[in-house]
Chains A and B, each alone.
Chain A
Amino acid sequence: MALHNLTLTQISKGLEAGDFTSVEITQHFLNRIKQFDQGENGINSFITVMEESALADAKVADERRAAGNATAWTGVPFAHKDIFCTDGTLTTCGSKMLSNFVPPYDATVVENMKREGAVCLGKTNMDEFAMGSSNESSYFGAVKNPWNFDTIPGGSSGGSAAAVAARLVPAATGTDTGGSIRQPSALCGLTGLKPTYGRCSRWGMIAYASSLDQAGPMARTAEDAAMMLNVMASFDTKDSTSIEQDVPDYTATLNDDIAGKVIGLPKEFFPESLNGDMKQAMMNAIAEFEKLGCTVKEISLPSTDLAIPAYYVVAPAECSANLSRMDGVRFGYRCEDAKDVEDLYKRSRGEGFGDEVKRRIMIGTYALSTGFYDAYYVKAQQIRRLIKNDFVKAFNEVDFIMGPVTPSPAFKAGEKSGDPVEMYMEDKFTLSCNLAGLPGMSIPAGLVNGLPVGLQIMGDYWSEAAMLNAAHKFQQATDFHHAAPQGIE
């Protein structure tokens, strides 16, 4: 098998067995990035390729292995979404505002991966400040979906998704504020997991909406996602919302029996308007779980429709506060010839931020302004409580909740970029997980019109191990996750 078709787990085992060295496999993936990602017709999934440091890290990893100190991740290549601060390496968050920003420190997730001796190949493209569902809002250009270059890869972790789908890297980190791991994973045919809020440290992960942001793995299989979450997850005193809870070995329970588990299908996730082929793909996938001994039950999450309006208050409000630090004074883009300090702030921000970011900052500023706080932010936080209560009630009766990740497969580039509200509808099935802080996952569930779609698995708080277990058993019994885009072999 060609090296790039190996899964993360197979690469880890291959390194252990001495089938290849880290330098060899790192060079192999770097060659593929050159071949398929760069230039005018390239996928454009990377903003920065770290060729030099990756090869140096690979050499160190091979030495560490020779010395007998290797872990499962030592010498294994992967990529980071460009939202994670990397000490000494450009970190742009997809924005002109940070197009010259070299962080003076590593994010905790970055540090966790480094400690294991994992080899970071580069920083992946993304929607600007993680605001978007198509990766078209990146200052560094749109990303192509490897399944069909005319379609979008999803967002905001679109670069990570495209890179993994194109086998330019075996796995990548992502972040999910409203669906930014699950939606691109679905549209590119990957297995992606947004953990419980507080599972992975947000330290050094450039903040969009702090009460919703959560990092997680994007890989080809549940087994690989488990291997990755093992290292990404940690309790971190530097993140005030990190939860002090032991990190289990997520790979240890992958093969547990799932017979008897109850799957809830919320009727709100299967509306009349849902595309028939999408619905069929979901039902086919759910039938596989039944074959594994699970039972299915119809449930209701009545507040689901309120997730979009509540999200578009909470996220913009928090982003307007978080992004106020970008003012052209201490780091990042600064406008030319400011006439006074007010002009410096306004033009640095006006020129440094793209359209979608400006829209969300303005919505947030408005929602938080005097006289509107209760009507918008408090109201939205009350609705979050209602959404959470729906889930708490449902998880008294079921083990997992399943439904589609997106309303349809990947859409054409440019199709929705002119209408922000239409773009927001793309996330209608993913937002409620973030608002409730629950873990959510996307696993490949076949093709619709030749493009991948994802089945969403939602679990109770801290049930990542059970979700990965269910997904792994499903993938042992099916081959949806083996499907690969054509033309980039």
Chain B
Amino acid sequence: MALERSDVTNIADLARLAIAEDNIGQYQEELSSILALVEQMNAVNTDGVQPLAHPTDAVQRLRADVVTEENHREKYMANAPAQENGLFLVPKVVE
């Protein structure tokens, strides 16, 4: 499927990716060619085929509901780009 410029900006928006106006054309071309490759899947009939979610069809394990993590707050916060009083700082969200 060939994408329109508006598709590219819409996808970038959904993916929360800022892309430069000048690059939209290139993305349009590249993403369209990748989708054309992907659409080779349509050549095969998969009616009734069970989708494969896990290669060995394993299922999720359950564990006892007990605390396993210790408190490493300071260590975890050390990578924060901006913080104050142990909280992550972001631009104002609520006016």
Q: What residues make up the interface of A, taking CB atoms closer than 8 Å to B?
A: 100-102, 104, 196-198, 211, 237, 240-241, 243, 303, 305-306, 308-310, 312-313, 320, 324, 327-334, 338-347, 349-351, 353, 358-359, 361-363, 365-367, 369, 376, 378-386, 388, 420-421, 424, 435-438, 461
Indicate which residue in A330, A341, A366, A435 contacts B31 across the interface (CB closer than 8 Å): A366
Compute how far the CA of A101 lies from the CA of B78 in the bound complex, rounded to whole angstroms: 9
Do the beta carbons of A383 and B44 come within 8 Å of each other? yes
A-B contact pairs, 14 of them (CB 8 A): A102-B78, A211-B55, A330-B79, A349-B18, A361-B15, A362-B17, A365-B11, A366-B35, A378-B51, A379-B46, A383-B46, A420-B30, A421-B34, A424-B37
Do the beta carbons of B93 and A363 come within 8 Å of each other? no
Compute how far the CA of A341 lies from the CA of B49 in the bound complex, rounded to whole angstroms: 43
Compute how far the CA of A363 lies from the CA of B72 in the bound complex, rounded to whole angstroms: 36
- A102: chain B residues at CB < 8 Å are 78-79
Q: Which B24-78 residues sit within 8 Å CB-CB of chain A?
A: 27, 30-31, 33-35, 37-42, 44, 46, 49-56, 58, 60-61, 63, 72, 75-76, 78
Tell me the nearest residue of chain B to A237, going by C-beta: B63
- A345: chain B residues at CB < 8 Å are 16
Do the beta carbons of B88 and A104 come within 8 Å of each other? no
Do the beta carbons of A385 and B41 come within 8 Å of each other? no
Instruction: Give the shortest distance, in Å, between A339 (CB) and chain B (any CB).
Output: 7
- B61: chain A residues at CB < 8 Å are 237, 240
- A346: chain B residues at CB < 8 Å are 16-18
Indicate which residue in A243, A332, A334 contacts B58 across the interface (CB closer than 8 Å): A243
Instruction: Give the shortest distance, in Å, between B63 (CB) and chain A (any CB).
Output: 7
Do the beta carbons of B18 and A309 come within 8 Å of each other? no
Compute how far the CA of A116 lies from the CA of B43 in the bound complex, rounded to whole angstroms: 50
Compute how far the CA of A333 lies from the CA of B40 in the bound complex, rounded to whole angstroms: 37
B12 within 8 A of A: yes
Instruction: Give the shortest distance, in Å, between B58 (CB) and chain A (any CB).
Output: 6
Instruction: Give the shortest distance, in Å, between B55 (CB) and chain A (any CB).
Output: 2
Do the beta carbons of B91 and A343 come within 8 Å of each other? yes
Told that A362-B8, A437-B56 touch, could you supply 16 new A-B pairs with CB distance under 8 A? A100-B79, A102-B78, A243-B56, A306-B40, A310-B41, A330-B80, A331-B79, A346-B18, A349-B16, A350-B18, A362-B12, A365-B15, A367-B38, A385-B49, A386-B49, A421-B37
B19 within 8 A of A: yes
Compute how far the CA of A367 lies from the CA of B93 in the bound complex, rounded to whole angstroms: 30
- B58: chain A residues at CB < 8 Å are 198, 241, 243
Assuming A312-B34, A329-B81, A329-B88, is B11 touching A241 (CB within 8 A)? no
Do the beta carbons of A305 and B40 come within 8 Å of each other? yes
Instruction: Give the shortest distance, in Å, between A401 (CB) and chain B (any CB).
Output: 16
- B14: chain A residues at CB < 8 Å are 365, 369
